[in-house]
Amino acid sequence: MSGPYHQLIYTSDASLDLTPEGLASIRDSSQRNNARDQITGILLHSGDQFLQVIEGPRAAVERLHRLIAADTRHEGMRTVLAHDVNQRDFGQWAMAVRELPPEQLAQHQALSQFFSPDFDLGSLRYGTPATFLLQAFRELNGAPEAP
Ligand SMILES: Cc1cc2nc3c(=O)[nH]c(=O)nc-3n(C[C@H](O)[C@H](O)[C@H](O)COP(=O)(O)O)c2cc1C
């Protein structure tokens, strides 16, 4: 699909020395910079794992992708999906950040499958991967709050 926006979904492993302060700083930078750069999305942090969706104008998404890839607070980025879209799925959030206990992630098959190396996107029964994630977030504990 072609469209005016680019959307990227990836997972990564948090570095061993990521502190709550480090996470708070990622949240602050994200919400500030993304509002400036017309980027929206969600960031899930669970134990030593991240799952993020970023969307916006292609050049802005690619620039942010390079920046995030070079960030030593995580490693092992694996792209789940990168495609062009006609509309945003997370338009109201510069970056909605969620913490999820690892036990809860393990029990949540809909979310945890995104972390599997052989996850098949084609197996999703409804919606796009991003709307699927949004739905899973909502089921978990209500929609993320707008920053
Ligand atoms: C998992 C993860 C997700 C991140 N997401 C974003 C993001 O959405 N937007 C952003 O500007 N920076 C994000 N960052 C931080 C960037 O890598 C970088 O540190 C930051 O953009 C630098 O900007 P600052 O100097 O304003 O803090 C993320 C970092 C990590 C580790």
- Residue 140 CA to residue 105 CA, distance in Å, equals 10
The per-residue pLDDT for 17 is 87
Q: Which atom of ligand 1 is nearest to the CA of 33?
A: 11
Give the pair of three-digit tokens for residue 107.
Answer: 């029990």
The domain segmentation of the chain, as residue ranges, is: 5-141
CB 57 within 8 A of CB 6: yes
Which of 68, 78, 93, 95 for mutating ligand 1's site (highest number of atoms within 8 Å of CB)?
68
Q: Could you read off the pLDDT tens digit of each residue along the chain, which spans 147 residues?
A: 457 999 999 999 999 889 989 999 999 999 999 999 999 999 999 999 999 999 999 999 999 999 999 999 999 999 999 999 999 999 999 999 988 999 989 988 888 999 988 888 888 877 788 888 888 877 776 555 555
What dihedral do alpha carbons 108, 97, 88, 73 form, nearest 10°? -100
What is the whole-number distance in angstroms between the Cα of residue 125 and the centre of ligand 1?
A: 32
Q: Whose CA is nearest to atom 30 of ligand 1?
A: 68
The per-residue pLDDT for 142 is 56
What is the whole-number distance in angstroms between the Cα of residue 145 and the centre of ligand 1?
A: 19
- Residue 53 CA to residue 90 CA, distance in Å, equals 9
Q: Whose CA is nearest to atom 6 of ligand 1?
A: 30
Which of 49, 66, 67 for mutating ligand 1's site (highest number of atoms within 8 Å of CB)?
67
Architecture of domain 5-141: 2-Layer Sandwich (3.30)
The per-residue pLDDT for 131 is 85
3-class DSSP state for residue 64? helix
83-102 burial, b if ≥16 CB within 10 A, otherwise e? eebeebbbeebbbbbeebee
- Residue 97 CA to residue 114 CA, distance in Å, equals 17
